[in-house]
Homo-oligomer: A and B are copies of this chain.
Amino acid sequence: MNKYMKIFKETSLFKGFSEQEILQSLACLNGNSRIYRKKEIIFNKEDRLHSIGIVLDGTLFISKEDLGGVRLIFSELITGEVIGETALRGNDQPVGYDAAAATACEILFIRIDRLVRPDQTACSLRGRIIENLFNLLLRKNEALYRKLDIVTHKNLRARIVHYLQFQAEKNRSPVFTIPFTREELAHYLSVDRSALSRELGRMKAAGIVDYSRNTFRLLQSEFIESPFK
C-alpha cells in the first residue's frame, strides 16, 4: 500500500495529513484502491453503493440513459474528485447513474458506514476527513452548477460557447484540448452529434472558433471572463 502514499498525500481527502495519519485513516475506513481498464464499468445505476470513491488517477464518466435509451453524459471526473457521494445520503437507494472508466484509472474506495454511522470505535480523524470531504462536495457542487448552466441554454451555439469558454478558462489559454470525442461532447451537451458538427462548422465559418479533432482555439478573446457570468 505504501507505494501509493504519494498519490494519497496529493488527494484532497487527506489534505494536511501525515503519512501516519493517512495509514491510520485507510485502515479505519477500510480504504482500498482498484485499477480499472479503459471502458470498464465501475458501477451501474441499479447498484447500491456502500463506499464512495476518490479518483486517484485517470478519468471517468458519469452517464445515464434517458427514457428513449439515449446515453447522456452527466460529468467527467478527473484525479482528486469524488464519485458516488450521493450514497452518503444513507437511504440505501440505487445510485441512479452509471460510472465507467474513460481512460485507465484508479479509484480509492472508502466505506460509508465508517463515516456516517460512527460508533465508539470510530476513527479519531473522522472530523478532519469529513471536513475534507466537505470541500470535495463543494467542488462537486460547483461542477453541477456549471453543467446546469450549460444545458439550460436553449440553443446549441450558446451551449457550445459556454462549454468552450469554460475549457479555455480552465486551461488559461484560448488553445486547448478537450477530453471528449465528438460523440461524447454531444452527450455531455445533451445534443445530437450531427447537429453539433454542423453548428461547429458554422462557428468556424463565422470565425468564432477554430478546431481540428479535439483541439480548439477560441478566436474571440472572451476566454478571460469568469465561468459564472
Contacts and interface: CB of A to CB of B under 8 A. Distances in A.
A203 interface: no
Contact of A158 (B64, B67, B139): B67
Contacts of A85: 138, 141
Nearest to A191: B154
A94 interface: yes
Interface string A49-73: 0000000000000001011101010
Contact of A94 (B131, B138, B153, B226): B226
B152 A96 contact: no
Contacts of A133: 134
Contact of A152 (B66, B134, B161): B66
Contact of A151 (B45, B127, B151, B191): B151
Interface in A172-208: 190-191
A147 interface: yes
A141 B171 CA distance: 26
Contacts of A144: 141, 144-145, 148
A-B pairs with lowest CB-CB distance, top 9: A96-B228, A144-B144, A152-B190, A127-B127, A72-B152, A134-B134, A137-B137, A151-B151, A67-B158
18 contacts: A66-B154, A66-B158, A67-B158, A74-B145, A74-B152, A86-B145, A89-B138, A94-B226, A94-B228, A96-B227, A96-B229, A127-B130, A137-B137, A140-B141, A144-B145, A151-B152, A154-B190, A154-B191
Q: Which of A95, A144, A148 has the most CB of B within 10 A?
A: A148
A100 B158 CA distance: 25
Contacts of A21: none
